[in-house]
Structure 1
Amino acid sequence: MTSLIRSPLFLVITLWAAGLGAAAQFAKIVVIFPELQAHYGETGAISGYLVSLISVMGMLFGLVAGVMAIQIGVRRLLLSGLYLGAAVSAWQTTLPGFEWMLASRLLEGMSHLAIVVSAPTLIAQFTTQRHQAKALTLWGTYFGVAFAGIALSAPLILEIAGLGGLSALHATYMAIFALLLTVVLPAEDRRAAPPWPSFGDILRRHVTAYTSPFITAPALGWLFYTLTFVSMLTILPTMVDPAQRAFVAAAMPLASIVASMTIGNVLLGRFTAVSVIIIGFALAIGLVLVFLLTGPDAWLFIAIFAALGLVQGASFAAVPQLNASLPDRALANGAIAQTGNLGNALGTPAMLAVAATGAATGLPALLIGCYAIAIAVHMALARSRAKAQATPVSGN
């Protein structure tokens, strides 16, 4: 039994399941957002902060969480995030006043960040190089799986347990996985832990991360992915026949997950992760060109999300492929959290503004521009890495 729970497969699945809890920190609010608005009354546009405050924390402190992982240990950061998330959800079960609920979402942003930085770092650490790509492709599905699960179960939970029911269930889930991972995760050797960095050191770490073509590459590609992913989930279903909207809204993220776990894994067995990312963006450009020429279509939108599924899994697989050391991987995952939250925060308003102009070419042009820039950035960083690796003094 001990050998089973300490096996890499069990650890990877458990860490992925913990990631579902992190994604649910968004989903548990998004799915019942109208009911929460009704509960809190006339809060107006500020009610949107119930969703976005987690993203704000990620935008500001994504890379800081990577630095924290280096300082206190990746295992400790993960467990801190899980226990904090359980405590915050337990408090939200009481449906505190609106201002206190907003404050709790800030705390939850810290919990979310700790989990999404540390869990993929540990997954890469516990898997062999042969299996890293598949394990991190699985990790890349955590957001879509959690949203689908909560969307399907929320009506029944609301009926049985009321508005606080989702938070109560989430608190229980987080507490279970916090305790389980406390038991099964191997202890870390902290005897050689570096001294705590100063504010200037943290700023220098940001410069180091975002100027390194190894550390920053997954994050910069991820920025352009997140600029369009959530916003397309919001906007594209409104462009098809009303009878197809519910089907399209559910099928798009599922197509992304299926493509990531099937075609994505096959391609990752034959090409580098960065190459698979570029293939995914290129396929998406081709499909958006079809959209531009033929107009909206339900199956075409689903196909676009399937193409983006290749980007989804390969972006996380690129982190250990490009970065050999645990500190660099932690920084890379922190940068992904930072740019991902930035993309989520900016993407939907930008796409809504373009769609509001009524120009038929506006939305496709925005998508093609994002994906073309992403490909150009990845190709430029690949050239920088080749130059760095050809130099004997390279640090990577």
Structure 2
Amino acid sequence: MRHDRVFILILWLIGILAAAQLAKIAVLATSLADTFGLSIALTGLLISLLEVGGALFGLAAGMALGWIGARRSLIAGLAILAVTGVAEAYASGAAALLAARVAEGMGYLLVVIAAPTLIAAIASERDRASALSLWSTFVAVGMAVGSVVTGVAFATLGLRGAFLLWSLLSLSAMVTVLRFPAAAPSVRQARAFPDVAAWIATFGFGLYTTFICALTMLFPSFLVERAGVSSPLAGFATGIVALGSVPGAVVAIGLARRGWLDGKRTLAIIAVSLLAAAAAAPQVFAAGSAPNAILWTSAAWALWISFSSGIASPIVFGRLPLLAGARSATDPRIALANGLITQFGAGGALIGPPLGGLVVMGWGWGGLGLLVAALALATMCALVAAELEAAGVVASRAGAGNRSLRERNGQVSTISMRSE
């Protein structure tokens, strides 16, 4: 395996490590609530605080990346994860735990912006789209890995030991990155904002995270309420649904490897995958009255949504450098675009569950299905609009280049005539 592919794989694993911190607190929530006397509201806040940094400072972090360098930012992010893991392990009270979680969120933010920026810088032209599509799976895989590892660590090492294990893993990842040479310039670069197409596409990705988080986060409650299943079984079914996006990403990676993610084919793939998700959304909550039918039928439809929409979302990551208007693999527009996709994605993750809850309160579970369908269609419209905008910009630049070439040729001809 080539060295650049090894580094890409390591960066993907580091992303999984960062995303595992999302699941870490969710698994330990009951023990933390008992230990620190946390209410349900504070426990929920503790879980979601990791995304607050991205929702508020994603673009700012992307701008900072262009100044201090992606590699340094990645090392700093992993260092913060390592330190905050120790702080969480030895927190003396709820306030200290919440403060450590906020700081951990900033480390997470640096990692998830720096890692894809480095992937874009070191991947070959042929591998870049598929490598970034692979990166897009880090949250789903990280949630699954984080849940399993934290559960085992808590059972064998206790609460403090589980926190310290993740701290040690973050430190090991930081040491690994230090052993690699710089993959992109670390000097300050001129700031350049991404093209309009990247703003539209990353907003579309935010719509995607809104509906997929509303679906997956509320799905266990639906199964418990309507199918009468136990919470562990509902959680297991939801975990399978969430992982459905991974084979969707595999499809997107295969398409990228074959060079199919360009022009009209990209538009067709986006439209078909998200239309399929929108059509299935009402069916998730329209199962019959038999508990077993609700469990298996609803889970199958939800899994289909996760899979089909999971084909479209990696395409955003794979084409983000192009949509941003990057002129090179180390163009600072890529870092800013990664900041944007983090900000909109985190915002969607924060908005989705409470928005879905309000819809269920007002219109029942069927209303949630319609909301998911509407947001899937809105996501499709945004991603298609981004592709059309990018195509127009590329055509405009090509036309300007041709005009410039004709003008230079005309100047040469004039000079030649004068010399004669």
The answer to whether the superposition gives a TM-score over 0.5 is yes
Tell me the residue number matched to 2:304. 303
TM value normalised by structure 1: 0.87
Tell me the residue number matched to 2:409. none
Report the more deviating stretch, 375-384 or 69-78: 375-384
- Deviation, structure 1 residue 131: 1.4
TM value normalised by structure 2: 0.83
Cα distance, 1:379–1:36 mapped onto 2, change above 3 Å: same
Give the letter for the 1:265 counterpart. I
Given the alignment, which residue of 304, 328, 332 partners 1:327? 332
- Name the SS of the counterpart of 1:271 in structure 2: coil
Cα distance, 1:298–1:66 mapped onto 2, change above 3 Å: same
CA separation in 1, counterparts of 2:166 and 2:399?
A: 45
Cα distance, 1:101–1:62 mapped onto 2, change above 3 Å: same
Given the alignment, which residue of 199, 208, 211 partners 1:216? 199
Tell me the residue number matched to 1:313. 314
- Name the SS of the counterpart of 2:364 in structure 1: coil
CA separation in 2, counterparts of 1:109 and 1:360?
A: 32
The reply to whether residue 59 of structure 1 matches residue 55 of structure 2 is: yes
- Deviation, structure 1 residue 44: 4.9
Count of residues in correspondence between the two structures: 378
- Deviation, structure 1 residue 45: 1.7
Give the letter for the 2:158 counterpart. G
Cα distance, 1:260–1:383 mapped onto 2, change above 3 Å: closer
Q: Is the 8 A contact 1:215 1:331 kept in 2?
A: no
Cα distance, 1:89–1:278 mapped onto 2, change above 3 Å: farther
The reply to whether residue 84 of structure 1 matches residue 80 of structure 2 is: yes
Report the more deviating stretch, 168-177 or 281-290: 281-290
Tell me the residue number matched to 2:240. 251
Q: Is the 8 A contact 1:252 1:302 kept in 2?
A: yes
CA separation in 1, counterparts of 2:3 and 2:267?
A: 29
CA separation in 2, counterparts of 1:253 and 1:34?
A: 22
Cα distance, 1:314–1:67 mapped onto 2, change above 3 Å: same
Tell me the residue number matched to 1:33. 29
CA separation in 1, counterparts of 2:151 and 2:81?
A: 23
Name structure 2 gaps, 5 residues minimum.
Answer: 289-293, 402-420
The reply to whether residue 157 of structure 1 matches residue 153 of structure 2 is: yes
- Deviation, structure 1 residue 372: 1.2
Give the letter for the 2:280 counterpart. L
Tell me the residue number matched to 1:200. none
Tell me the residue number matched to 2:261. 271
Given the alignment, which residue of 320, 329, 340 partners 2:345? 340
- Deviation, structure 1 residue 294: 5.3
- Name the SS of the counterpart of 2:217 in structure 1: helix
CA separation in 1, counterparts of 2:159 and 2:281?
A: 39
Cα distance, 1:164–1:194 mapped onto 2, change above 3 Å: same
CA separation in 1, counterparts of 2:37 and 2:284?
A: 40
Tell me the residue number matched to 2:278. 285
- Deviation, structure 1 residue 395: 11
Given the alignment, which residue of 89, 92, 96 partners 2:92? 96
Residues 163-203 of structure 1 deviation map (CA, whole Å, 9 limit, x = unaligned): 12221111111101101111114265445x247x8xxxxxx
Residues 142-161 of structure 1 deviation map (CA, whole Å, 9 limit, x = unaligned): 11112212222333311221
Report the more deviating stretch, 268-277 or 123-132: 268-277
Tell me the residue number matched to 2:404. none
Cα distance, 1:129–1:286 mapped onto 2, change above 3 Å: farther
Tell me the residue number matched to 2:65. 69
Q: Is the 8 A contact 1:274 1:315 kept in 2?
A: no
Report the more deviating stretch, 144-153 or 181-190: 181-190
Cα distance, 1:371–1:15 mapped onto 2, change above 3 Å: same
CA separation in 1, counterparts of 2:123 and 2:39?
A: 47
Tell me the residue number matched to 1:201. none
CA separation in 1, counterparts of 2:157 and 2:85?
A: 15
Cα distance, 1:235–1:123 mapped onto 2, change above 3 Å: same
Residues 307-361 of structure 1 deviation map (CA, whole Å, 9 limit, x = unaligned): 1221332221121232434211111100011001110111100001111235353
Cα distance, 1:274–1:60 mapped onto 2, change above 3 Å: farther
CA separation in 2, counterparts of 1:395 and 1:43?
A: 61
- Deviation, structure 1 residue 123: 0.9
CA separation in 1, counterparts of 2:284 and 2:353?
A: 19
- Deviation, structure 1 residue 390: 3.2
CA separation in 2, counterparts of 1:394 and 1:72?
A: 36
Given the alignment, which residue of 361, 385, 389 partners 2:390? 385
- Name the SS of the counterpart of 2:244 in structure 1: helix
Cα distance, 1:153–1:188 mapped onto 2, change above 3 Å: closer
Cα distance, 1:214–1:284 mapped onto 2, change above 3 Å: same
- Deviation, structure 1 residue 246: 4.1
Q: Is the 8 A contact 1:75 1:185 kept in 2?
A: no
Report the more deviating stretch, 48-57 or 242-251: 242-251
- Name the SS of the counterpart of 1:95 in structure 2: coil
Name structure 1 gaps, 5 residues minimum.
Answer: 198-204
- Name the SS of the counterpart of 1:129 in structure 2: coil
Tell me the residue number matched to 1:350. 355
Give the letter for the 2:50 counterpart. I
CA separation in 2, counterparts of 1:42 and 1:194?
A: 45
Cα distance, 1:385–1:360 mapped onto 2, change above 3 Å: same
Cα distance, 1:361–1:394 mapped onto 2, change above 3 Å: farther
Tell me the residue number matched to 1:226. 209
Q: Is the 8 A contact 2:189 2:332 kept in 1?
A: no
- Name the SS of the counterpart of 1:31 in structure 2: helix
Residues 63-109 of structure 1 deviation map (CA, whole Å, 9 limit, x = unaligned): 01110110011111111111111111122121331111111111111
CA separation in 2, counterparts of 1:117 and 1:155?
A: 28
Q: Identity, % of aligned pairs?
A: 27
Tell me the residue number matched to 1:173. 169
Please identify the structure whose Cα radius of gyration is greater: 2
